[in-house]
Amino acid sequence: MLIINKLVKPKVSNVYDTYWKFAAERQNVFFNKIANLPFLTTDPILQNHKFTNAYRASDRVSQYLIREVIYQGDQEPNELLFRILLFKIFNKIETWQLLLHEIGEITWRNYNFDRYDKVLSEAKKANETIYSGAYIMASAKSEFGYDYKHQNHLRLIELMITGNLSNKLLEARSLSEIYELLLSYPTIGPFLAYQYAIDINYSQMIDFNEMDFVVPGPGARDGISKCFIDMGDYSETEIIEYVTDIQESEFKRLGIEFRDLFGRPLQLIDCQNLFCETDKYARVAHPEAEGHSGRKRIKQIYRPQKGVINYWFPPKWGINENLLL
């Protein structure tokens, strides 16, 4: 448990209860998808707009990363880290599949900058989008000198692998140490360093508790500012720890039966993400609520994805057998 004893407790706004209601209904949508139900939700905001899952690992891109990237292929540390970094730099399934199609097996031992650059440059010249729009990647041109962003990022991955990052990760004693190692590299700021740390922690390379460490991203800060009138003696990080700690009692208070992830409660990374999603949801549900960004609308429209996701989680979590029930 992450019980935080502070003298002055945070004061909630009317958006705060929406945080919990959104988490529960978004999780209901997840289970309705698994059950292949034709009607996912009665919530008009969820019907019309795109939101990530209540659990980060349930998202389509995370699922692909876990199943098709991390647990497929050589588990040797350098090979594993290379695949994770290459996938996450672009964070786009179609880019990974393009590289697989054009290059074949994706391995560090057979990596060649020119081959990868050629595939990605040709895609860019064909006006294909090779980066996800989920977050903005800095170009790193000042560090590596290339005109194309992907060229600089390939060099960044090379720097990380040749700099013995995999061994440093294996020697790390905490998730926060993993974060600090990643943060030390060019163009990787606090948000990306934390996200990458969680992604690497899905693998067998490291095994830290997701309840040990969290870093609030910009969207989460917006959500926190909407959910709380006053944070009291709590920092934004401690607010995330606080709500994660009291999740069971808050669902009970609101009379909500929250369907967790097969016995796995919401983790710090999930509650961090939920603040980000609540910020977006509140732009429609609570238009009067002001966040730091001042954004007033939700950009992404919900469009059902083609194909069925065969959900599968890191085996060390011990929940995959429940997916068969």
Which residues, other chains included, contact 318 with Cβ-Cβ below 8 Å and sequence gap of 6+? none
Average of per-residue pLDDT across 138-149: 90
Q: What is the dihedral of CA 34, 37, 43, 48, to 10 degrees?
A: 90
Please check whether residue 279 lies inside any domain of the structure.
Answer: yes
Please check whether residue 208 lies inside any domain of the structure.
Answer: no
Average model confidence (pLDDT) for the chain? Answer: 93
Same domain, 309 and 230: yes
Same domain, 79 and 123: yes
Q: Are 203 and 170 in contact, with CB atoms under 8 Å apart?
A: no
Strand pairing partners for 230? 11
Q: What is the pLDDT of residue 7?
A: 78
For the whole prediction, is pTM greater than 0.85? yes
Same domain, 243 and 176: no
Last residue of one domain, picked from the residues 170, 201, 232: 201
Same domain, 83 and 195: yes
Which pair of structure tokens corresponds to residue 213?
A: 């460490």
Same domain, 187 and 238: no
Q: What is the pLDDT of residue 138?
A: 85
Please check whether residue 23 lies inside any domain of the structure.
Answer: yes
At residue 133 the predicted structure's pLDDT band, cuts being 50, 70 and 90, is confident
Same domain, 222 and 288: yes
At residue 324 the predicted structure's pLDDT band, cuts being 50, 70 and 90, is low
Please check whether residue 5 lies inside any domain of the structure.
Answer: no
What is the span of the domain harbouring residue 308? 11-58+213-324
249 vs 139, more confident: 249
**Residue 247 pLDDT more than 90?**
yes
Same domain, 142 and 237: no
Q: What is the pLDDT of residue 4?
A: 61
Neighbours of 178 (CB within 10 A): 24
Q: What is the pLDDT of residue 128?
A: 95
Q: What is the pLDDT of residue 322?
A: 87
Please check whether residue 151 lies inside any domain of the structure.
Answer: yes
Same domain, 182 and 234: no
Q: How far apart are CA 301 and CA 87, in angstroms?
A: 25
At residue 159 the predicted structure's pLDDT band, cuts being 50, 70 and 90, is very high
pLDDT tens digit sequence for 81-115: 999 999 999 999 999 999 999 999 999 999 999 99
Q: How far apart are CA 4 and CA 245, in angstroms?
A: 9
pLDDT tens digit sequence for 15-52: 999 999 999 999 999 999 988 888 899 999 999 999 99
Average of per-residue pLDDT across 107-135: 95
Same domain, 139 and 194: yes
**Residue 325 pLDDT more than 70?**
no
Q: What is the pLDDT of residue 292?
A: 77
Please check whether residue 207 lies inside any domain of the structure.
Answer: no
Q: What is the pLDDT of residue 76?
A: 97
User: Which DSSP letter does residue 261 get?
Assistant: B
Please check whether residue 3 lies inside any domain of the structure.
Answer: no
Q: What is the pLDDT of residue 249?
A: 97
Q: What is the pLDDT of residue 305?
A: 73
pLDDT tens digit sequence for 162-174: 999 999 999 999 9
Please check whether residue 22 lies inside any domain of the structure.
Answer: yes
Same domain, 146 and 174: yes
Last residue of one domain, picked from the residues 159, 179, 201: 201
Same domain, 157 and 76: yes
> Which segments of the chain does DSSP mark as H helices, in order?
16-34, 44-48, 60-64, 77-90, 93-103, 113-125, 141-144, 149-162, 165-171, 175-183, 190-201, 218-227, 236-245, 247-253, 268-285
Domains identified in the chain, total number: 2
Same domain, 87 and 151: yes
Q: How far apart are CA 58 and CA 64, in angstroms?
A: 10
Q: How far apart are CA 223 and CA 201, in angstroms?
A: 25
pLDDT tens digit sequence for 267-318: 999 999 999 999 999 999 999 998 777 777 777 777 777 667 889 999 999 9
Last residue of one domain, picked from the residues 201, 225, 247: 201
Q: What is the dihedral of CA 182, 183, 184, 187, to 10 degrees?
A: 100
Terminal Cα-to-Cα distance of the chain (whole angstroms): 29
